[in-house]
Structure 1
Amino acid sequence: MPVNNLYILGIRGLPAQHGGFETFAQQLALYLTARGWQVHVYCQEPGPGATIYSTWRGVRRIHIAVRQGGALGTVVFDWKASLDATSRSGLFLTLGYNTAIFGLLQRLKGQTNLINMDGVEWRRDKWGALAKTWFWLNERAGCWIGNHLVADHPQIQEHLATRVSAAKISMIAYGGDEVLEADAGLLAAYGLEPGRFSVIIARPEPENSFLEMVRAFSAAPRNHRLLVLGDFQPERHPYHRQVMQAASAEVIFPGAIYDREVVQALRFYCRFYLHGHRVGGTNPSLVEALGAGCAVLAHDNRFNRWVAQDAAAYFKDGAECAALFTRLLDDDGAWQQMRAASRGRFVQRFTWPRILLEYEQLLNHWYPKHP
């Protein structure tokens, strides 16, 4: 019996090291491999050299060397991966539309390429005019070039439906792991105790409401700590400097933390998980907070509202966020109810088995049928 081949483009490679899309790709690749698929993942490698191949936990990796670094290196890698993909046979899944125009190569070859369109990247505050134009054009290109589109949130699905027919879009959310225990000893390195701190875990950018949340917490003495994770570089970024200057002595900036066990412990034992994202679809960090049973304080917008629903308490601005801290910080009953609601919402909608099955069904439907 022939084996189904899936090629995954759009990430830097496996094992996952660079964020939500790679974590999803790893979950999907291992799941499909166990289900009899042969999964191939394009991996970016620094420096010169020829394309080489390796196998990781049954997943075949195609390593493409790229001399350039940064954003340009990613673009070059995506171009080389798309070019290589034209010589392959099977089904293709592209994660993100940032270089979707390159998928024209596969379209011209008659290959079937599904594109997960991610969020509305060109609306993000962090990008300049040139980058926003590039993302806007590639969003349009992806909608046209992809054989079928995946949206990770109903609002993203509605947005894409202004570009293409709704029949061309499937909505499949992002998944996460349920965390039922964690090592409390990992908190000691940061001088923290279970339940005596709250946490922010995100990229320190204006659209993620860092300044509003830090000011809200720092508006009054809390007898509580706020741990703000992220790669802060105040000497280079005025916004980072502004956030750090707004912080009270009860706020801790430990930098970016990539140790998965430490991050899980911080979520599991925090009093509140603050989620200030204002744009995007189903945010992986918010899903992971629900999976850890966090009591969530979230920015009030259509994206976060669908993900957390009644599990979170919402704020529109810094004043409302400060009021939530004042009202809820010492309310154990409300805290326990919020934690239970988070777990309930997670189990209802965001477990990996559900998400991966939905993807497998979609991939089976679109797998090329040969006479």
Structure 2
Amino acid sequence: MPDETKPILRILGTRGVPAAYGGFETFAEQLSLFLVARGWRVVVYCQNDVPEITRPLSVETWRGIELVQIQTAASGPKATLDFDWKAVRHAGAHEGLCLVLGYNSGLFLPWLRLRGKTVLTNMDGMEWKRAKWGPAVKAWFWINEWIAAWSSHRLIADHPAIADHLATRRPRRHISTIAYGANEVPPQPEAPVRALGLEPGGYLVSIARIEPDNSIHTIVEAFSRRPRGAKLMVLGHLQPGLPYHDRLRKAASEEVVFPGPIYEAGTVAALRYHARAYVHGHTVGGTNPSLVESLAAGNACLCQDNVFNRWTAGAAGTYFTDQDGCDAAITRLLADDTLVVRARTAARERAAAAFRLDDILSAYEEEFAAFTGYPARGETLGVLT
């Protein structure tokens, strides 16, 4: 039976844990394990896509975290809305502070307020600005951002520029800025890298959704302008027949490798650690978790030049604004050992100073404690692995 004396946190807005999809799921897993070890009861809502609903809702436990499994037989955005609505209704009927990750279904948050719940929302990036969306979808996200901003007791921004944006929606006293975090990546074995046909230090790596907002076309086309004597690994799903993905395949030289998505944590850590540089083309968003993880791995970073990436990577980054600049930056990173060594040192220093995972998770706990009346618990009750 649940311990009635423990503070309760309910996490909504992700596909659930164990993490297998993206940054929000990874963060939800990290935060949940951290809080469970510090004496919290943590409930995470998990989306379970099925061809036919046979058990609409079930509860199980994983590493001390309560997982509320919600089946949905829909697909695409409809499935997400169906899942989010069911999760909100369940959370509204049970005790606990609610942490919502993202505002894509902000329309449902007033329900939680009507049920007397305290709601904190990580507002993520400015989804409505992404070029990939059409006018109707952009309008949906824009409206949901406003609803989430005014339905939440606290807005959490993961980057100072996101906090500045949210201040146009809600007074700053309702906004906290907490970045993402990552543990330092220790030396990694070379075997996973060599198994992919790569030479340690002889490749660049991109780990991102393959879409225009992440400048994948700029990176691939710039890299493919000339022989590099190195490889470019572009991790992510390529869908045959999708025009943007077909364009990338056509533009790529023989030195560009598309291995598909790789979710095995050890392989991803090895790919980061042994890369000559990590390539980050994100144009919209805040403190991107993948960029933070690369800093923690000690990567020199090749970044699209914008306020989000500049603040996050700092001196660890070499920056580009267009294809010509990307071409020149790639050439420099592959040729200049001094630059790479200096950037790697700066990466680890930046990660240690601003993005230590325990510091980030403790900052979240302090936010929760302010609303629950329970003090932050101090030392953990167990070891996180």
Secondary structure of the structure 1 residue equivalent to 2:146 = helix
The answer to whether structure 1 residue 267 and structure 2 residue 267 are counterparts is no
Which residue is equivalent to 1:62? 68
Secondary structure of the structure 1 residue equivalent to 2:335 = coil
Whole-angstrom CA distance in 2 between matches of 1:313 and 1:144: 38
Of the three residues 26, 30, 37, the one matched with 1:27 is 30
The answer to whether structure 1 residue 245 and structure 2 residue 234 are counterparts is no
Which residue is equivalent to 1:221? 227
CA contact (8 A) 2:204 2:276 kept: yes
Which residue is equivalent to 2:364? 359
Change (3 A) 1:11 1:337: same
The answer to whether structure 1 residue 37 and structure 2 residue 40 are counterparts is yes
CA contact (8 A) 1:101 1:142 kept: yes
Which residue is equivalent to 1:232? 238
The CA deviation string for residues 164-183 of structure 1, in whole angstroms up to 9 with x for no partner, is 10000000001112111212
Of the three residues 98, 108, 113, the one matched with 1:92 is 98
Which residue is equivalent to 2:381? none
The CA deviation string for residues 232-285 of structure 1, in whole angstroms up to 9 with x for no partner, is 12x321111112211112111111111111111111101111111111011111
Using the TM superposition, give the Cα deviation of residue 2 of structure 1 relative to its aligned residue in structure 2, in angstroms: 2.5
Which residue is equivalent to 1:313? 318
The answer to whether structure 1 residue 104 and structure 2 residue 117 are counterparts is no
Whole-angstrom CA distance in 2 between matches of 1:317 and 1:349: 28
Structure 2's unaligned 5+ residue stretches are: 375-385
**Which amino acid in 1 is paired with 2:143?**
L
Which residue is equivalent to 2:303? 298
Which residue is equivalent to 1:341? 346
**Which amino acid in 2 is paired with 1:251?**
V
Secondary structure of the structure 2 residue equivalent to 1:93 = strand
The CA deviation string for residues 91-148 of structure 1, in whole angstroms up to 9 with x for no partner, is 1111110001111111112210111100000111111222111111100000110111
The answer to whether structure 1 residue 176 and structure 2 residue 179 are counterparts is no
Which residue is equivalent to 2:159? 153
Secondary structure of the structure 2 residue equivalent to 1:15 = coil
Whole-angstrom CA distance in 2 between matches of 1:73 and 1:130: 18
The answer to whether structure 1 residue 120 and structure 2 residue 123 are counterparts is no
CA contact (8 A) 1:90 1:368 kept: no
Whole-angstrom CA distance in 2 between matches of 1:222 and 1:230: 22
Give runs of ≥4 in structure 1 deviating > 4 Å. none
The CA deviation string for residues 274-315 of structure 1, in whole angstroms up to 9 with x for no partner, is 111111011111011101111111010000011011111111
**Which amino acid in 2 is paired with 1:248?**
S
The answer to whether structure 1 residue 14 and structure 2 residue 17 are counterparts is yes
Secondary structure of the structure 1 residue equivalent to 2:33 = helix
Which residue is equivalent to 1:350? 355
Q: Once structures 1 and 2 are overlaid, which stretch shifts more, 166-175 or 50-59?
A: 50-59
Of the three residues 149, 166, 183, the one matched with 1:143 is 149
The answer to whether structure 1 residue 284 and structure 2 residue 289 are counterparts is yes
Structure 1's unaligned 5+ residue stretches are: none
Secondary structure of the structure 2 residue equivalent to 1:356 = helix
Whole-angstrom CA distance in 1 between matches of 2:79 and 2:307: 34
Whole-angstrom CA distance in 2 between matches of 1:29 and 1:240: 35
RMSD between aligned residues: 1.3
CA contact (8 A) 1:40 1:60 kept: yes
**Which amino acid in 2 is paired with 1:363?**
F
Whole-angstrom CA distance in 2 between matches of 1:280 and 1:22: 17
The answer to whether structure 1 residue 2 and structure 2 residue 5 are counterparts is yes
The CA deviation string for residues 201-256 of structure 1, in whole angstroms up to 9 with x for no partner, is 111111111111112111221111111111112x3211111122111121111111
**Which amino acid in 1 is paired with 2:187?**
E
Using the TM superposition, give the Cα deviation of residue 368 of structure 1 relative to its aligned residue in structure 2, in angstroms: 6.0
Which residue is equivalent to 2:137? 131
CA contact (8 A) 2:299 2:316 kept: no
Secondary structure of the structure 2 residue equivalent to 1:336 = helix
Using the TM superposition, give the Cα deviation of residue 327 of structure 1 relative to its aligned residue in structure 2, in angstroms: 2.3
Which residue is equivalent to 1:328? 333
